[in-house]
Amino acid sequence: MRITTAAIIAATALLLMGAVYLYLIAQQPNHPVVSSTPPSATTVNAGGDSTFVLHERPQPVSELSFVDGDGREMSLADFRGRTILLNIWATWCVPCREEMPALDRLQAKLGSSDFEVVPLSIDRDGLPKVKAFYEELRLKAIGIYVDASGKAAYRLNTVGIPTTLLIDPDGLETGRLVGPAEWDSPELVNLIQQQLEKTPDEAS
């Protein structure tokens, strides 16, 4: 059977339309993790449908500007030299609300001069809203950080919140999780501890 040029063009168009459809679905804020994980990447179940993916190679992170709980201007560069778990969240996000106590417990367990949980709120109402949220949930261990512009979400190419990045002392992203997680679970605590114990050569 002879395949005509028109048939080839039609098949190609269908393939392109399918690719565009998958791309658009992946951009929807409430869509679960829709990233292609390389076979060599390390994944850890984080509870529910969430999976923490450790990158094969560390990736650069866009610079972010925000304020701390006292209103002081900060950026990710202020954490250079430490491993941080950067969590992008908001008070109106129900999954974020559910995982914040676990992040607080993780900070209480592992927080040190070498590691910090950095929950970065993108609430447009700023510090007052976030401080009231902390008081309501009685969060004590984690600090307050707010980006009222909301730019952090798209600068980090998030497909929804919460999104959490593990960032090494050199400011490079070594892993990412989209969705809520049981952050103080033995699996995730062990994963973070392993990353903290890595030498610079092993991390690169």
- Whether residue 17 is contained in a domain is answered as no
Could you please report the per-residue DSSP string of 109-146? HH-SSSEEEEEEE--TT-HHHHHHHHHHHT--SS--EE
| 122 or 17, greater pLDDT | 122
Q: State residue 199's pLDDT score.
A: 54
* Biggest CA pair distance of the chain: 74
Cβ partners under 8 Å of residue 141, min gap 6: 104, 105, 107, 108, 111, 117
The pLDDT tens digits for 69-111 are: 999 999 999 999 999 999 999 999 999 999 999 999 999 999 9
Q: State residue 63's pLDDT score.
A: 93
How many domains are contained in the chain? 1
Taking residues 60-64, report their average pLDDT. 95
Q: Tell me, what CATH number does 104's domain have?
A: 3.40.30.10
- Whether residue 15 is contained in a domain is answered as no
Q: State residue 20's pLDDT score.
A: 35
User: How far, CA to CA in Å, does 39 sit from each of 22, 36, 44, 53, 110?
Assistant: 20, 9, 13, 11, 30
Q: State residue 175's pLDDT score.
A: 95
Q: How many residues does the chain have?
A: 204
- Whether residue 67 is contained in a domain is answered as yes
- Whether residue 110 is contained in a domain is answered as yes
Task: Give yes or no for residue 34 having a pLDDT over 70.
Answer: no
Model confidence at 30, in pLDDT bands (50, 70, 90)? Answer: very low
- Whether residue 24 is contained in a domain is answered as no
Q: How far apart are CA 140 and CA 108, in angstroms?
A: 9
- Whether residue 80 is contained in a domain is answered as yes
Q: Residue 42 pairs with which residues in a beta bridge?
A: 54
Q: State residue 201's pLDDT score.
A: 52
- Whether residue 20 is contained in a domain is answered as no
Task: Give yes or no for residue 202 having a pLDDT over 90.
Answer: no
Ramachandran category for residue 26: left, alpha or beta (phi over 0 → left; psi -120 to 50 → alpha): alpha
Q: State residue 49's pLDDT score.
A: 72
The pLDDT tens digits for 120-158 are: 999 999 999 999 999 999 999 999 999 999 999 999 999
Query: Range of 83's domain?
Result: 33-203
Task: List alpha helices for the chain, DSSP H.
Answer: 5-26, 94-110, 127-137, 151-155, 186-197, 200-203
Whether the ω angle into residue 169 lies within 30 degrees of 0, i.e. cis, is no
- Whether residue 140 is contained in a domain is answered as yes
- Least confidently predicted of 8-12, 162-166, 196-200: 8-12
Other C-beta atoms closer than 10 Å to the C-beta of 194 total 12
